[in-house]
Amino acid sequence: MDHEADAYRTDLMTMTRFVLNEQSKYPESRGDFTILLSHIVLGCKFVCSAVNKAGLAKLIGLAGETNVQGEEQKKLDVLSNEVFVKALVSSGRTCILVSEEDEDAIFVESSKRGKYCVVFDPLDGSSNIDCGVSIGTIFGIYVLNEGKEASLDDVLQPGKNMLAAGYCMYGSSCTFVLTTGSGVHGFTLDPSLGEFILTHPDIKIPKKGKIYSVNEGNAKNWDGPTAKYVEKCKFPTDGSSPKSLRYIGSMVADVHRTLLYGGIFLYPADKKSPNGKLRVLYEVFPMSFLLEQAGGQAFTGKERALDLVPKKIHERSPIFLGSYDDVEEIKALYAAEEKE
């Protein structure tokens, strides 16, 4: 690769250009989705800048509030949430917003209302801010049926009905990964241009991986299939090499690595959290949608993750997602247990 020539590439596929190209494939499109996405991207750029300055700006201290999940909120969480709510409302294209930080869904006032419902976790993994570990924003988008009054049922839909999903990871570089239902594409923020540039076109997850990602500290509370699967990762009986354990504890970072390198990410139900810990609408669904679009699978221990129908906006679920063959193995273990 000619790095010098690469540094002076002039034909850059920016996120805006990419989305406009996609839009041109739909002659009936009015550009509403493009406008909505540009507001999400702006929110991500703002949060990226704030995260980079967090240590300097004393934004790390606790805000003295607790979010609806009982977790202490950091100032950066509060700031990120406000940024995304304001960006999404001001786009004039949204009708319902569901954020991890807000107990109730936000219904946009009628004068600024559009046809999209956005579910999001404004700053996932925020407990890792202090130690500089990658954190991120996760979002999913549903579209409202034309001519219908918005209600909570519009977001309490199975994940397979999502129009688009993505995440932005604030790490060694700022990476934005997006699917609109036809493949997965990754963009990296060029700080000198202030633009996201297409760096990972059409991401495909390897069919089988060499990495498993799970919090082994919870092992004593796991169910049988999870325990058997992890045992198999460490002590394979078929003569293959053991899998490597990689666990960051920030969902965006763990899933991003799984997407690029293959393997499996596990957050099972256990005795402490019988319904699992990750939230269905704005963590499980967007990540499952992305993984399936990249050729992987997502499974809850009972069913395909995207077939789940949530009953509450902050509902939780176990999740196993990653390479197709690796998820097949865990599905087989759950099926075997059911037969017993």
Beta bridge partners of 198: 187
Each residue's pLDDT tens digit, 106-122: 999 999 999 999 999 99
Which residues of the chain fall below pLDDT 70?
Answer: 1-9, 55-74
Q: What's residue 132's pLDDT? A: 83
Q: What's residue 288's pLDDT? A: 98
Other beta carbons less than 10 A from residue 118's beta carbon: 28
Q: Which of 7, 5, 23 is nearest to 15 (CA)?
A: 23
CATH of domain 15-200: 3.30.540.10
Q: What's residue 4's pLDDT? A: 52
Pairing of strands 184-190, 174-179: antiparallel
Domains 15-200 and 211-338 share a fold: no
Each residue's pLDDT tens digit, 203-243: 999 999 999 999 999 999 999 999 999 999 999 998 899 99
Task: Give the DSSP per-residue string, 266-299.
Answer: EE--BSS-TT-SEEIIIIIHHHHHHHHHTT-EEE
Q: Which of 258, 255, 256 is nearest to 243 (CA)?
A: 258
* pTM attached to this predicted model: 0.92
CATH of the domain spanning 211-338, picked from 3.90.280.10, 3.40.50.300, 3.10.400.10, 3.40.190.80:
3.40.190.80
Q: What is the amino acid identity at position 227?
A: A
Q: What's residue 328's pLDDT? A: 98
Q: What's residue 338's pLDDT? A: 86
Domain ranges of the chain: 15-200, 211-338
